[in-house]
Amino acid sequence: MSAKRGVTLRSQWLGKQLRELREAAGLTLKEAGDFLQRDASTISRLEAGIYPARPGDVEALLGLYGISHERQRDGLVRLSREAWQNGWWDAYAGDVGHGIVDNAWLESRAKQIRSFDALVIPGLLQTRDYMDAVMRAADWRSSEEQIARWIEFRLIRQQVLAASVPGLVVVLDEAVLRRTVGGREVMRAQLGRLTETAKQSHVEIRVLPQASGAHASPDGAFKIYELPEPYPAIAYVSSPAGVIYVEAEEAERLMLKFDAICRDSLGSEESLDLIVAVAEELG
The parent domain of residue 57 ranges over 9-85
Residues 100, 78, single domain; the answer is no
Answer yes or no: are the C-beta atoms of 114 and 169 closer than 8 Å. yes
User: Of the candidates 52, 85, 118, which is a domain's last residue?
Assistant: 85
For residue 94, tell me if it sits in a domain.
yes
> Rounded distance, CA 80 to CA 17, Å?
11
Beta strands 222-226 and 203-208, pairing class: unpaired
Residue 171, helix vs strand vs coil: strand
> Rounded distance, CA 255 to CA 56, Å?
36
| pLDDT score at 7 | 65
Residues 80, 54, single domain; the answer is yes
For residue 220, tell me if it sits in a domain.
yes
CATH number for the domain that contains residue 224: 3.30.870
Which tens digits make up the pLDDT trace of 59-98?
999 999 999 988 889 988 988 888 787 777 778 877 876 6
For residue 3, tell me if it sits in a domain.
no
pLDDT higher at 116 or 96: 116
For residue 232, tell me if it sits in a domain.
yes
| pLDDT score at 6 | 55
Answer yes or no: are the C-beta atoms of 94 and 4 closer than 8 Å. yes
Residues 155, 254, single domain; the answer is yes
- Residue 1 banded pLDDT, cuts 50, 70, 90: very low
**pTM of the prediction?**
0.81
CATH number for the domain that contains residue 48: 1.10.260.40
- Residue 3 banded pLDDT, cuts 50, 70, 90: very low
Beta strands 242-247 and 234-239, pairing class: antiparallel
For residues 246-254, average pLDDT:
89
| pLDDT score at 4 | 44
| pLDDT score at 86 | 72
Residues 99, 233, single domain; the answer is yes
For residue 107, tell me if it sits in a domain.
yes
Residues 104, 69, single domain; the answer is no
Residues 6+ apart with CB under 8 A from 9: 98, 99, 102, 105, 106, 234, 245
The 234-239 sheet, strands edge to edge: 203-208, 167-173, 112-117, 222-226, 234-239, 242-247
Say yes or no to pLDDT of 50 above 70.
Answer: yes
Residues 247, 157, single domain; the answer is yes
Q: Which secondary structure element, helix H or strand E, spans residue 272, and what is its range? A: helix 268-281
23 CA to centre of own chain = 29
Three-state SS string over 84-121 comes to: HCCCHHHHHHHHHCHHHHHHHHHHHHCCEEEEEECCCC
The crossing angle, in degrees rounded to 10, of helices 98-109 and 9-24 is 80
Structural domains of the chain, count: 2
Residues 40, 163, single domain; the answer is no
User: Of the candidates 60, 85, 110, which is a domain's last residue?
Assistant: 85
Residues 22, 133, single domain; the answer is no
> Rounded distance, CA 123 to CA 223, Å?
12
Residues 232, 252, single domain; the answer is yes
Residue 147, helix vs strand vs coil: helix
Q: Report the chain's mean pLDDT, rounded to a whole number.
A: 91
Residues 6+ apart with CB under 8 A from 42: 33, 36, 51
Residues 13, 34, single domain; the answer is yes
User: Of the candidates 69, 85, 101, which is a domain's last residue?
Assistant: 85
> Rounded distance, CA 64 to CA 27, Å?
9
Residues 121, 38, single domain; the answer is no
Which tens digits make up the pLDDT trace of 161-179?
999 889 999 999 999 999 9
Residues 81, 95, single domain; the answer is no
For residue 4, tell me if it sits in a domain.
no
For residue 2, tell me if it sits in a domain.
no
Say what percent of the chain tops pLDDT 90: 70
Which tens digits make up the pLDDT trace of 188-238?
999 999 999 999 999 999 999 999 999 999 999 999 999 887 677 899 998
Beta strands 167-173 and 112-117, pairing class: parallel
